[in-house]
Amino acid sequence: MSQKSDTQVRFRTSIGGQALMEGILMRGPDKQAVVCRTKDGIVEKTEPIKPLKERCALFGWPIVRGVAVFADSMLKGMRALTYSASLLPEDEQEEPTKFDIWLDKKLGSERAEKAVIALAAVLGVLLAIGLFIFLPTFLIGLIPGLEGEFALRNLLEGLLKLVILLVYLYLCSRMKDMKRLFSYHGAEHKTIFCYEKGLPLTVENVRPQSRFHPRCGTSFLLVAIIVGILVGLLIQIDNTLLRMLCRLALLPLIVGISYEINRWAGRHDNVLSSVLSWPGRQLQHLTTSEPDDGMMECAIRALELVIPEQRGSDAW
């Protein structure tokens, strides 16, 4: 099969992935796989998954499905990340805190692990809300002369969110552990591109693929900020606290709309889809790095484990 450009791939898969600590999570239509590289070799773990709309018909509705997918992906991703961290050599693992030990005694190891994952997810959401909703709204609210200038204030809040996101990702990209995580992220993108082009899944075929994929979950963050600026025009309030509460109330709508935009852009190859995916591709210069052969091997194996038996049933 002849190779096409990255924006003209013939087949789009619904399979998506996530970089882990020395590994990759791949999620297919009916199962997900975690493949990690350890000092003893590659460790594989697969488990079946059930589509969200089969759990609840409401989760198949536009907008609503975006919120459901976001929450489900975050929980599954956090669980996989915790599992991958547990495979690291003992000298690289963090010492359990007194709280961890207390939870283990009270709930047992399995229930304690679930509690820690749930707590981490909640804290992650709270941190994101504080960093990207409350902080920008508060800081821009300190600028005098913006009373009644709702459109301008909304734009400034959005621009500050964008700056915070770029600075945050840049600082992450400078950290040693995060650099390897971002390299695994690049391996995930390259492998999915290779699969979508119908090429045999080998390191040699994966290596030349682009690490900038139009359907990257990271791009969702940037789209959400842009959508947040537009939706924020609905907030015609000066009081900073009330603006914070309104932004919090509008968050599910922003998440849902952002998901639909990413979904549409990922399914089409035209000028508009290219324009919509371009900012996310640029953001991936910070969130992906070139992987080594071992990282690509992990990504290839993880993808192989979730490819459905019925050819093409994972088409997006």
Digit-coded pLDDT (tens) for 155-170 = 999 999 999 999 988 9
Q: What is the tens place of the pLDDT at every residue in 33-51?
A: 999 998 888 999 999 988 8
Which residue would you say has higher pLDDT here, 217 or 222? 222
3 has a pLDDT exceeding 80: no
d(CA 235, CA 154): 8
Q: Which pLDDT band holds residue 81 (cuts at 50, 70, 90)? A: confident
Predicted pLDDT at 104: 58
Sign of CA dihedral 93, 94, 96, 100: negative
Percent of all residues in the chain with a pLDDT value above 90, rounded to a whole number: 49
257-286 mean pLDDT: 85
187 has a pLDDT exceeding 90: yes
Predicted pLDDT at 116: 62
Q: What is the tens place of the pLDDT at every residue in 54-75?
A: 888 888 899 999 899 988 888 8
Sign of CA dihedral 166, 171, 173, 174: positive
Q: Which pLDDT band holds residue 105 (cuts at 50, 70, 90)? A: low
3-state secondary structure the chain: CCCCCHHHCCCCECCEEEEECCEEEEECCCEEEEEEEECCEEEEEEEECCCHHHHCHHHHCCCHHHHHHHHHHHHHHHHHHHHHHHCCCHHHCCCCCHHHHHHHHHHCHHHHHHHHHHHHHHHHHHHHHHHHHHHHHHHHHCCCCCCCCHHHHHHHHHHHHHHHHHHHHHHHHCCHHHHHHHHHHHHHHHHHHHHHCCCCCCHHHHCCCCCCCCCCHHHHHHHHHHHHHHHHHHCCCCCHHHHHHHHHHHHHHHHHHHHHHHHHHHHCCCHHHHHHHHHHHHHHHHHCCCCCHHHHHHHHHHHHHHCCCCCCCCEC
Exposed (0-12), middle (13-18) or buried (19+): which is 226, by Cβ within 10 Å? middle
Q: What pTM, to 2 d.p., does this model score?
A: 0.83
Helices 150-173 and 217-231 pack at an angle, to 10 degrees, of 160
Predicted pLDDT at 196: 92
Q: Which pLDDT band holds residue 181 (cuts at 50, 70, 90)? A: very high
7 has a pLDDT exceeding 50: no
C-beta separation of 278 from 262 below 8 A: no
The mean pLDDT value of the chain amounts to 86
Q: Which amino acid is at 116?
A: V
218-236 mean pLDDT: 89
